Every structure is written in C-alpha cells, then in structure tokens.
Amino acid sequence: MLELNAQTIAFFIFALLALGGALGVVMARNLIHGALYLIVSLFGGAGFFVLLSAPFMAVVQVLVYIGAIAILIIFAVMLTRGMTRLGEIYNRQWWMSAIVGGLMFVLLALGVILPVWGENGINPNQPVSDSVATTEDLGVALVDGNQYVLPFQVASLLLTGAMIGAIVLARDTE
C-alpha cells in the first residue's frame, strides 16, 4: 500500500510539474510558451533533487538551467522574430517521431532500471566518483589546473561565441 506522507505528496507534485511541463513543451504552438513550459519542467527536476537531499544540485538546476532558459527565450525572439506562431505541429512524419520517442523511452527506462534493480544494484552510500565525492571536491575539480578547468573555460568561450553569433545574425542588415 502506498503510504501518503509529505515526501510522497511532494514527489507527485514535482512529477506532475516535470511531466506536464514536458508535455507542454512538445504541444505548445507558441515558441515563448514552449520555453516557459520548459522552465516548469526543469523546476520539477529541481524539486526531485530537493527530495533526494541534494540541495546543491537543486540550486544549480534553478540557477543554471532555468537561467539559461531566459537566455534561450532571448535568442528565440531575436532569431525568429516573425516565427513565434508555429503553424503546423503535426506533419507527415509524426509516426516516425512517435516510434523514435518510444524507443528512447524504453532505452532510458532500461538505463535507469537495470543499474538500480539489476544484478548488483547501486549502493547509495558509495560516491559515484572517487575523485569528486563532495560538493567541495567538485568545486576544487572545476578550478584545478590539472582537472576540469580547461573544459570549463572552453564551454564558456563557446557560449560567448554563440551569443555574439546570435546578435550578429539577429541585427538588421539595412
């Protein structure tokens, strides 16, 4: 029997937010509404991190990903100006996307179910990585010259280049 406590109720609320937002992203005809639904879906994911006692990941989810969606909205408006109304959601290839979506669901479900309930299972008390076990270790790994500082800086340069490229493409050429 399902025990109804605060954690279970919160799980169902966050699941409803995540799944409802994801469905809204797929079904929205307006580009801005789709981006707002994506924010709702990512907020549901942040709630899952809170339920998993991972407050750092929840804050990162809110600040980085939901903040990035605000930038996505700006890019979408700048680059598509007159295309904020999508005329046709369903086209002749809808069945192909449904098959690919179903296959991806099965693969992702197997990727989650097998490690948890498979032969050995996952030990929740063991850190995922030996080199990054805590939040402090993650921070040190991101700024240490021998670990992840170069990919971190390359990603920031790529994002800056993408923003400059979007501004150049979006400006009036008159």
pLDDT in tens, 33-82: 888 898 899 899 999 988 888 888 888 888 888 777 777 776 776 666 65
Q: Inform me whether the pLDDT recorded for 29 exceeds 50.
A: yes
Residues 108-161 have pLDDT tens digits of: 888 777 766 655 555 555 555 566 567 777 777 777 777 778 888 888 898 888
Please state the pTM of the whole predicted model.
0.54
pLDDT on residue 18? 93
Residues 54 and 119 in one domain: no
Give the pLDDT confidence score for residue 44 in this predicted structure: 92
CA distance 49 to 47: 5
Does residue 18 sit in the same domain as residue 81? yes
pLDDT of residue 84: 45
- Cite the DSSP H helix spans in the chain: 6-27, 31-51, 55-60, 67-80, 94-117, 135-143, 149-170
Using CA atoms, how far residue 144 sits from 74, 85, 108, 133, 155, in Å, is 33, 46, 33, 15, 16
Domain holding 4, by residue range, is 1-89
Tell whether 80 and 118 lie within a shared domain.
Answer: no
- Look up residue 41 and give its two tokens: 């879906």
Nearest of 89, 70, 102, 76 to residue 28 by alpha carbon:
89
How far apart are alpha carbons 160 and 155 in whole angstroms?
9
Rounded Cα distance, 45 and 161, in Å: 29
Distance between CA atoms of residues 83 and 55, nearest Å: 38
- Same domain flag for 78 and 55: yes
Task: In whole angstroms, give the CA distance from residue 18 to residue 45.
Answer: 6
Give the pLDDT confidence score for residue 134 in this predicted structure. 73
| 7 contacts 51 by C-beta, under 8 angstroms | yes
CATH number at residue 63: 1.20.120.1200
Q: Identify whether residues 2 and 22 lie together within a single domain.
A: yes
Closest to 24 measured CA to CA, from 48, 42, 41: 41
User: Are 119 and 163 found together in one domain?
Assistant: no
Confidence check: pLDDT of 20 > 80:
yes
Give how many domains the chain has, as a whole number. Answer: 3
Model pLDDT, residue 130: 60
> Which residue in the block uniquely carries the two structure tokens 């309930």?
117
